[in-house]
Amino acid sequence: MTVADAEPGSSRHRPLLVLSKITDILDAFSLAKPELTLGEIQRATGNPTSTVQRLVSNMVAEGMLDRHGDRIRVGVRMAYWAAPAAHGIDVMELVTPVLRELRDETGESACFFREEQGQRVCVALAETRHALRRDMYVGKIMPLHVGSSGRVILAWRPTLAEAILAGPLPSFTDATITDPAVLRRLVDQTRRDGYAVTVAERDDGASGLAAPVFDSSTELVGALAISGPTIRLPRERCEGWVDLLVAQAERLIRTLGGRRPA
């Protein structure tokens, strides 16, 4: 362990090194990789094998990790600690910094959408600094059958999806999906993939990608999205940002104490 050579209460105190290593171990786990071996943890953290072995053994003893054979996962005790942290928290407090990070990393607008009365609504936004941008603002209401965020909401709200698919699907551009059978296949594909990418479905020359965020009951909280002009966001670039977007959506899920549906 290391501590700063500073007076108590000084802002120059450094964190205990062991806490950083414990954090590294916990950060190695994800919703995509809920179980890891010691070797996988060592490679993910970059810490020496002996250090990982020692810390993992202690974390298992304290209930922070569970071990089943050679597989290790985050301990159930962590969920007990997470419950009061997530209780009563304003989701927007968590979403806003993530949107800013996505905006700063991609240079494009990052948004969070929720379903309201059969429409999708932008409830949070970090707007691009480019002069050329999509017309987007908090409170903007859009149809669910167009765009990546709508596709994500329909993918994890099956009853709502059936209602939308049973009604008219108005056309906005030449790329709008107006055939219920085609849209149903795309919604099913989104659920399998865990994200959606769309181009020019609502606005000519606009693209977007979106991923779902879930709460502790596996209910959909909303869709985290990146969007912008297709001239800067061709499909290939959107697909290249999928891992970044999904990782940030997963970060929100974990912070909320959420989990993906089985």
For the chain, give every domain's residue range: 17-81, 91-255
Q: At residue 2, does pLDDT exceed 50?
A: no
pLDDT the model gives residue 255: 84
Four-way CATH pick for 91-255: 3.40.1550.10, 3.20.20.140, 3.30.450.40, 3.40.50.2000: 3.30.450.40
Higher-confidence residue of 262 and 14: namely 262
Listing from the earlier edge strand, what are the strands of the sheet with 35-36? 35-36, 71-74, 65-68
Q: Is the pTM of this model over 0.75?
A: no
As a whole number, mean pLDDT of residues 231-255 equals: 94
Dist. CA 66–CA 11, nearest whole Å: 35
Residue range 218-240: average pLDDT? 96
> For residue 77, what pLDDT band results from cuts at 50, 70 and 90?
confident
Confirm or reject CATH 1.10.10.10 for domain 17-81, answering yes or no: yes
The pLDDT of residue 11: 44
Alpha-carbon distance 93 to 37, whole Å?
A: 34
